[in-house]
């Protein structure tokens, strides 16, 4: 017998005897004296872990307070996290791209580059956060960022010099379509200390080439990316993101087969991982809305993909005398805040220097808060709309949800657009936890408990 509490995020399992005692306590709580209840070990355990609360406790208020505390803590974290688009130009024409066709191959100017570095310098010297700046993180996005390596080189070198001078940690990341990552480009980004790269592959060759066609019309697309992946330097971590829809998820087994055949994955498992990403329908999408997955469909596809990866990996491990992999015990997490939206120095800058608080607003310059070449002003209404949004205070759908507060993410764009994607736990919590608990008992070697999960067992 087990109970789960979404407020404390604790799962507790009980013996049959304890379960009977819980029911006795539940039915006689009003009749028992405070002294008798207070001396009951099981009752105290339930109280400590939030399964029993005092009548005077306002749990919703506590949730809101904790939510506000976490936002305030994030706001005051000493970190600069910038996403830069060195160019809006791209050598692909993906029909689902949320940036649409509004950009016409713009490249970042040296003036904008200078203003970015100047902004970082000024924030390091006089931050508005309570904590001093300890880390500068830059993500190069696009378009296809590798089409403008000159800007990337200048910016990384200047920011690196600033951080070294001020004894501050720094990191550089990149999201690319992977078609240009020849050994020459791998060496360039390695030399610039760009040590994390995300590459998109949407299914097997046939599906990927259809979903992510090259503007040139060349068929050497999917194969080129796989050839480039065989050259990953040891000190660079790569995430292959698979933007999933109803067509893509049908080709995942073929994609894994190709990666194994070309000795890319799991051979490079120390530096490469595979992640299924959810593709969102936007007004810029040129694909039918019926192609896209809802939250529940995406979860089911993701679970099947994890099983596929596990099977492929363990077959490879057997052949190569490697340790076998296990499934992780899937468990709800605290809400994941969007750093770009929630932090004063979490900003996205397009090639023209326009500042946005959401990646998916890039297609419309009217959504820009200001320009990086202007004096940075955190008091502008365009910042406040994102920084201080509190969905628990305004969204009645969330307020009434019994799973509050184990939402997957805090996507303010969805809140503003009225298109909130509920956590998948809303649909699978009971079945998933029960299945995993049973698996731990009958086949403990097949599943591993994530130490970050909060699980209490009284037996």
pLDDT tier for residue 443 given thresholds of 50, 70 and 90: confident
- Closest C-alpha to 159, from 141, 133, 180: 133
Confidence category of residue 196, pLDDT binned at 50, 70, 90? very high
What's the whole-number average pLDDT of the chain? 89
The arithmetic mean of pLDDT across residues 202-216, rounded, is 96
Q: Quote the pLDDT of residue 412.
A: 86
Q: Which residues contact 102 (CB under 8 A, 6 or more apart)?
A: 363, 364, 365
The region of weakest confidence among 61-65, 316-320, 416-420 is 416-420
* DSSP-assigned states of every residue in 333-386: ---EE-HHHHSTTEEEE-TT-EEES-GGGTT-GGG--EETTSPP-TTSHHHHHH
Q: What is the pLDDT of residues 276-320, one digit of tens each?
A: 998 888 777 788 889 999 888 998 999 899 999 999 999 999 999
For residue 30, the model assigns a pLDDT of 54
pLDDT-wise least confident of 14-18, 162-166, 220-224: 14-18
Band of the pLDDT at 31, cuts 50, 70, 90? very low
Do residues 116 and 82 lie in contact, with contact meaning Cβ atoms separated by under 8 Å?
A: yes
pLDDT at 100: 61
User: How far is residue 103's CA from residue 368's CA, in Å, rounded to a whole number?
Assistant: 14
**pLDDT higher than 90, residue 393:** no
Is the pLDDT reported for residue 273 higher than 50?
yes
Q: Do 195 and 236 touch, CB atoms closer than 8 A?
A: yes
- Pair of tokens at residue 215: 């503007």
CB under 8 Å to 283, separation ≥6 — which residues?
Answer: none
455, 9 contact by CB (below 8 A): no
- Among the listed ranges 29-38, 143-152, 175-184, 199-208, which one has the minimum average pLDDT value? 29-38
d(CA 440, CA 330): 12
pLDDT in the model for residue 457: 45
Instruction: Write the DSSP assignment of 46-103 as a string of letters.
Output: HHHTTSS--TT--HHHHHHHHHHHHHHHHHT-SEEEEEE-SBS--SB--TT-TTTT--
How far is residue 451's CA from residue 112's CA, in Å, rounded to a whole number? 45
Which pLDDT band holds residue 386 (cuts at 50, 70, 90)? Answer: very high
Q: What pLDDT sits at residue 454?
A: 47
The mean per-residue pLDDT over the stretch 134-145 comes to: 96
Residue 458 has pLDDT above 50, yes or no: no
The first and second tokens of residue 205, run together, are 């060759």
How many CA atoms within 13 Å lie on the side-chain side of 276?
A: 27
CA atoms within 13 A on the CB side of 142: 30
Give the range among 34-38, 217-221, 358-362, 434-438 with minimum mean pLDDT: 34-38
Residue 453 pLDDT greater than 60, yes or no: no
- Kindly report the number of other CB atoms within 10 A of residue 36's CB atom: 11
Tell me what the mean pLDDT of segment 27-40 comes to.
58
What would the mean pLDDT of 38-51 be, rounded to a whole number?
A: 79
Nearest Cα neighbor of 283 from 85, 89, 101 is 101
Question: Does residue 420 or residue 102 have the better pLDDT?
Answer: 420
Share of the chain above pLDDT 70, in %: 94
Which DSSP helix (H) or strand (E) runs through 89?
Answer: none
Structure tokens, 281: 């329908």
The four Cα atoms 410, 414, 415, 417 give a dihedral, to 10 degrees, of: 160
- Which of the residue ranges 93-102, 116-125, 159-168 would you say has the lowest mean pLDDT? 93-102
- For 211-265, write each residue's pLDDT tens digit: 999 999 999 999 999 999 999 999 999 999 999 999 999 999 999 999 999 999 9
Count Cα atoms within 13 angstroms, Cβ side, for 214. Answer: 15
pLDDT for residue 450: 62
Helix 16-28 to helix 41-48 angle, to the nearest 10 degrees?
80
Among 92-106, 296-310, 342-356, where is mean pLDDT lowest? 92-106
Q: What is the pLDDT, as a whole number, of residue 368?
A: 95
Summarize the confidence of residues 350-375 as an average pLDDT.
91
**Whose CA is closest to 247, among 199, 272, 212, 296?**
212
Percent of the chain's residues with pLDDT above 90: 57
Taking residues 6-10, report their average pLDDT. Answer: 87
pTM higher than 0.85, yes or no?
A: yes
pLDDT for 449: 72
């Amino acid at each position: 017998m087990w109970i789960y509490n979404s407020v404390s995020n604790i799962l507790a399992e009980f013996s049959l005897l304890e379960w009977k005692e819980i029911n006795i306590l539940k039915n006689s709580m009003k009749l028992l004296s405070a002294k008798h209840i207070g001396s009951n070990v099981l009752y105290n355990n339930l109280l400590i872990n939030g399964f029993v609360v005092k009548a005077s406790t306002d749990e919703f208020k506590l949730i809101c307070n904790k939510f506000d505390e976490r936002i305030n803590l994030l706001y005051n974290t000493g970190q600069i996290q910038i996403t830069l688009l060195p160019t809006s130009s791209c050598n692909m024409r993906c029909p689902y791209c949320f940036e649409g066709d509004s950009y016409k191959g713009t490249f970042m100017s040296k003036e904008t580059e200078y203003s970015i570095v100047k902004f970082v310098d000024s924030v390091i010297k006089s931050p508005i956060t309570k904590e001093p700046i300890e880390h500068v993180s830059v993500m190069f996005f696009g378009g296809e960022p590798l089409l403008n390596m000159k800007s990337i080189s200048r910016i990384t070198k200047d920011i690196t010099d600033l951080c070294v001078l001020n004894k501050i940690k720094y990191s550089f990341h990149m999201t690319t379509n992977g078609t240009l990552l020849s050994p020459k480009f791998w060496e360039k980004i390695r030399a610039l200390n760009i040590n994390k790269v995300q590459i998109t592959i949407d299914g097997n060759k046939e599906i990927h080439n259809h979903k992510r066609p090259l503007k040139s019309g060349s068929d050497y697309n999917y194969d080129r990316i796989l050839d480039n992946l065989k050259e990953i330097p040891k000190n660079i971590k790569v995430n292959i993101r698979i933007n999933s829809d109803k067509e893509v998820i049908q080709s995942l087994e073929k994609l894994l087969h190709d990666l194994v055949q070309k000795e890319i994955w799991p051979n490079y498992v120390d530096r490469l991982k595979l992640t299924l990403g959810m593709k969102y329908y936007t007004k810029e999408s040129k694909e039918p809305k019926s192609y896209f997955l809802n939250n529940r469909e995406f979860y089911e596809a993701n679970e099947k993909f994890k099983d596929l990866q596990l099977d492929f990996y363990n077959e490879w491990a057997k052949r190569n005398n490697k340790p076998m992999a296990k499934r992780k015990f899937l468990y709800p997490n605290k809400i994941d805040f969007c750093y770009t939206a929630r932090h004063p120095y979490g900003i996205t800058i397009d090639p023209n220097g326009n500042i946005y608080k959401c990646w998916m607003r890039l297609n419309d310059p009217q959504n820009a808060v200001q320009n990086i070449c202007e004096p940075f002003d955190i008091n502008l209404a365009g910042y406040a709309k994102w920084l201080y949004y509190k969905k628990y205070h305004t969204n009645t759908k969330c307020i009434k949800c019994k799973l509050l507060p184990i939402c997957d993410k805090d996507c303010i764009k969805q809140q503003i657009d009225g298109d909130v994607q509920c956590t998948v736990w809303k649909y699978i919590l009971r079945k998933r936890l029960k299945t995993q608990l049973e698996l731990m008992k009958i086949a403990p070697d097949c599943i591993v408990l994530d130490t970050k999960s909060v699980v209490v067992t009284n037996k």
